[in-house]
Chain A
Amino acid sequence: MIHHALRSMRQSLSHTIFFTLTFIITSAFILLYFTLALSDEIGVTLFYSSNNIQTVVSILVILICMVAIFFANDFYVKQKAQDLAVQLVCGATYSQLVLYLLMQTGLLMMIGIVSGMALGLFMMPGFNVILEQIFHVTHMLSFNQEAFVATVVVLVMVIFYATFLNLGYSYRNSIHNLLVNRGEMGKIGFRIPKLFRAIVTPKVKGMFALILVVMMTVMFCLSDASDLFGYALIWLFGFSLAVNNVVLPGLRYLVAHKWAMHPHLMAIGGFLRHDIHALKSELLLLIGSDIIFYTLMIRNVTDAVASTLSGLSFVVVNILMSMVIMFKYSSEVSTRSQSAQVLLCVGYLMEDIDHIIRRETLLFYAFIVLSDMIVITTIGGNLVIHHIISQNLLMGMIVLFLIPMAICMLMNMFYYHRVIHGDLLQRAE
């Protein structure tokens, strides 16, 4: 079993490296975060505190970290879907599979935590400089034992949790699905009354969604700061509806009609539609968490430290979410070498395919960034006008949102390119 686990890791070396890298970066950020949260200036007494704002923020950050690692792990496990399916066919039991996966993730976890914390320590001076620039606080971060303990505890818990959850999912999923769809789950529809369905056609839903989004965006600019949270929730609902009933059908229409004579766009459109569909929940989570941190900032206007912490959490969470998106996207495109093969056979050239994957990745990230930017800029602008946050803070937040996204996009392009060229080279030997 151990032998098998090690061999399987070696086989998917690039995935393993990718997984470990994200893990290292996540660990580094969590460490930095806790160091900050537990620093004297912020003065959180996390373990003994009553339900103050710092605790709420910390718990949120931890939750989102868990989601981040969960998706990293999910990506890793999906790569193993066929592997697992074969073992299931051969009659492996649940506990055997848990052991098998934990052995792999456990090893990577050790490497990841140790090097991640080292990286975190290494990055501290740099972060101090940034903090000084934005918040005018000097020397906020320094080595803190409590932060180390908290980081290790959180990470270990998350890893175990993620492995079990992902595995449970694989185990419940049918072997056939694991083999064919690489673990894509079958959809179950709600039973909606016929009359309702006849009136509320997708077109009506789409119009409704668009109206909601536009109206709420206007409200973001005009309304009083304290009402923003409610509007934001309605916006999020409208946006979710709009993705399903406007963006995806729109892409479908474009591919079949408007783009019928543009071979590049035709390929990109289909891929993009698939990516957006697959990453919709991550996108909603990204926007949702931004909204929550805004709200926390508003609620604590009087408390400078708490609102600083919220601002920082906003940045950290956006970095983590960028990584989540990068991972999920990677796992979506990890099987695209076969698609590239098909495109080549149909008559596309290698240059076409390079162009297609670059454009697809760019457009995908543009969609994510634009959607989130609507919320960040309109609400942020409103808060600046009402003097709840400073202009510099807003600019800082936007920049610190864009930079990680851009880095993740480049990493994704690189990975995508590797997936396609690596596999094709292997085939051509």
Chain B
Amino acid sequence: MALLETRHLSKVYGLHTDTEFVALHDINFEVEEGEMICIMGPSGSGKSTFINAISTIDYPTSGNVLIDGEEVRALTGKQIGRFRSSTLGFIFQNYNLLDTHTLYENIAMPMSLAKVNQKEQAKRIKELADYLGITACLNKYPNACSGGQKQRAAICRALVNEPKIIVADEPTGNLDSKNSKRLMDVFKDLNDQGVTIIMVTHDALVASYSSRFVYLHDGRIETELRRGDLSQDEYFEKIMAINARESQEVLKQ
């Protein structure tokens, strides 16, 4: 049984208004436990919409989303809440930190929901923050932090409960290459330990860490690619080639 699954998933924004827009068309997709899936595609192709829908952050207009074979709509609010706080770690494209709380408090929040005690909270936050280099900002409010610092705080918040599934929307979008590399190493480690990862990225190098590659275009899955036995180099080449097709089409126009 798939860990996450979508059946005939569609998302329409502004339904029945004059700005109606179909962001996802009838997507069937399965995520197996332990996979590391990378999603690429042009801006506006529906990547964020897709990963939001598959991880209960947003609801589809039609079609089903299943977690461990259970239809999301059939789950109670409590079950969804527990899923979000302890099974899922979500990293948003725009960080989504509470600006009334310090970075430390933001990171501690999911642990508080999971009833982790205060000592353990402090310990885990220190470890993660040290590794990602934001220890100095922990007592600052998000408004006083740079984009990359906020992004790393959002990453800490997503990882701190040791989730079984990590969904990340361009987690390296605001990071320099050193921090991107660190994050990818973390993801790789977690994935080796069996954590399932789904991430959106614009960076083909980041994508080459994945075990499966998905290319979205106008709300449809255009190409899917499994790494299989390919070396990271070969895999990277293929991903580049798929992305290049898009650029060539732009050139031809």
Contacts and interface: CB of A to CB of B under 8 A. Distances in A.
Interface of A: 180-181, 184, 252, 255-257, 259-263, 266-267, 270-271, 273-274, 338-339, 341-352, 428-429
A345 B84 contact: yes
A347 B81 contact: yes
Contacts of B110: 346-347
B116 A261 contact: yes
B100 interface: yes
A351 B81 CA distance: 11
B8 interface: no
Interface in B96-116: 96-102, 104-105, 108-113, 115-116
Given A261-B117, A266-B105, A347-B86, A273 B100 contact: yes
Nearest to A342: B96
Contacts of B80: 349
21 contacts: A181-B143, A255-B101, A256-B104, A256-B105, A261-B112, A261-B117, A261-B118, A262-B112, A267-B101, A267-B109, A338-B96, A344-B84, A345-B84, A346-B84, A346-B110, A346-B157, A347-B81, A348-B113, A349-B80, A349-B81, A350-B77
A428 B59 contact: yes
B244 interface: no
Interface SS majority for chain B: helix
Given A274-B100, A339-B98, A346 B113 contact: yes
A181 B96 CA distance: 15
B85 interface: yes
B15 interface: yes
Contacts of B118: 257, 260-261
B228 interface: no
Contacts of A184: 143
A230 B135 CA distance: 47
B192 to A, nearest CB: 26
List the 6 closest pairs (A to B, CB-CB), nearest first. Answer: A347-B85, A260-B118, A347-B84, A270-B101, A274-B100, A263-B112
Contacts of A267: 98, 101, 109
Interface string B65-83: 0000000000001101111
Given A273-B100, A339-B98, A263 B81 contact: no
B115 A261 contact: yes
B105 A271 contact: no
Interface of B: 13-15, 57, 59, 77-78, 80-86, 90, 92, 96-102, 104-105, 108-113, 115-118, 121, 143, 157
A190 B90 CA distance: 41
B117 A270 contact: no
Contacts of B14: 429
B244 to A, nearest CB: 35
Contacts of B105: 255-256, 266, 270
A428 B116 CA distance: 32
B96 A341 contact: yes
A19 to B, nearest CB: 24
A40 to B, nearest CB: 53
A317 B96 CA distance: 40
A345 B92 contact: yes
Contacts of A263: 109, 112-113
Contacts of A343: 98, 109
Contact of A348 (B81, B86, B100, B115): B81
A266 B77 contact: no
Contact of B143 (A180, A261, A345, A349): A180
Given A347-B85, A429-B14, A260 B97 contact: no
A361 to B, nearest CB: 14
Nearest to A181: B143
Contacts of A252: 102
Given A181-B143, A255-B101, A260-B108, 8 more contacts: A261-B117, A266-B112, A274-B100, A343-B109, A345-B96, A347-B82, A350-B77, A352-B81
A252 B102 CA distance: 9
B67 to A, nearest CB: 14
Contacts of B115: 261
